[in-house]
Amino acid sequence: MGGQNTKGELLRAYRVLETDDLDHAREFVNGVWERHHSEMRRGREYDLLWNESKLIRSSLSYLQTSSRIRIECAPLSDCYRITMHEFGSLAHRINNCETVSTTKQAVIHAPGQELRLDTEPFRTLLLSFDGQFVRDTLVERYGHVPDAQTLRHTFSLQSPAAMAMRSLCRWAARELDRPDRGSLAAPSAAASLEGTLLTLFLDCLNDPQPAGKRSGEAAKEARIARVEDWIDANIGESIRVDDLARVANISVRALENAFRRFRGCSPMEAVTRRRLNRAQHILRSPSPNTTVSAVATECGFFHFGRFAVQYRKAFGETPSQTLRLQPTLLVPHSRSPGE
């Protein structure tokens, strides 16, 4: 798999997949992770490196890619997963709520969630717990099990519990790479490790921030979701940041801060991303009369040359190339901007 930089690779002794073939990766990952569909978002070259060590009721994985792909999953299986980046970021859409995992923010996947991922180049540790293991521990600690759908989707990796959890995961990865699994060779040691990791994870869920601050963040996320719905409904119109602030009923500065906090971009960058994603979706499912210029206008791009440049930067090909590659296109399309 030429070109894959393995600097900083963890769990080297536990390679389960290394491939530059998306079809091969899709088939393999369907068997070891979640049932899903994946396709390239940008460019044509694909790579994935996946290392994974199973403990007893948990596992620790290291994943690395330089590809930009979209992954859409069926409702998630009975497992809790925590994404902790070593490098890069990953956009998650969980039950229609969008968030981003980074080196400073972890994202949690829980049983039954609907999930879509948009990858950028990243290196990440993935800590997974068996669902029943988590539920048993929750009953021991609190006497009941909260609905998995009500759990928070993110937590800061800069809290004491999160820093301890990530540090322990890194230590475990290095220890597992030693001959005979190092000090984790004994089942009792592995059980102790995963018990400690689960305790730290539950501590991360119990955000030490005051309830008012937690509810304030939930309100900001709700405002962002409302803005995103409005963008989608008005995708072909001229949109200004003032319009978005008015929809959210907050100041422009507060909106900018909220988008950068929860989406990792400015509000207008979010508008452009959603327009480009809509354009790509239409170009990949064209009618015989679809043209690039018509799609650009429909998605709110009125400077066709700029649209072609932004599209190519986002997806690694021109809009016309995307349109030409679709097998459902029955008649030749006229030349359009971006060819």
With 60 as the cut, is the pLDDT of residue 339 above it? no
As a whole number, mean pLDDT of residues 25-42 equals 88
As a whole number, mean pLDDT of residues 249-267 equals 88
With 90 as the cut, is the pLDDT of residue 326 above it? no
With 70 as the cut, is the pLDDT of residue 254 above it? yes
State residue 3's pLDDT score. Answer: 46
What stretches of 66-167 adopt beta strand conformation (E)?
68-73, 79-94, 97-101, 105-109, 115-130, 154-156
What's the mean pLDDT when you consider all of the chain? Answer: 87
Instruction: Between 279 and 151, name the one with better pLDDT.
Output: 279
Instruction: Between 330 and 304, name the one with better pLDDT.
Output: 304
The candidate with the shortest Cα–Cα distance to 315, out of 142, 69, 58, 100, is: 69
pLDDT tens digits, one per residue of 149-160: 677 889 999 899
pLDDT tens digits, one per residue of 100-138: 999 999 999 999 999 999 998 999 999 999 999 999 998
The candidate with the shortest Cα–Cα distance to 102, out of 330, 221, 263, is: 263
Domains of the chain are 12-208 (2.60.120.10), 212-324 (1.10.10.60)
State residue 261's pLDDT score. Answer: 82
Q: State how beta strands 15-19 and 48-54 pair.
A: antiparallel
Instruction: Between 190 and 332, name the one with better pLDDT.
Output: 190
Phi, psi of 42 (to 5 degrees): -155, 135
As a whole number, mean pLDDT of residues 274-280 equals 92
State residue 214's pLDDT score. Answer: 52
With 60 as the cut, is the pLDDT of residue 94 above it? yes
Does this model's pTM top 0.85?
A: no
As a whole number, mean pLDDT of residues 24-47 equals 88
**pLDDT tier at 44 (50, 70, 90 boundaries)?**
confident
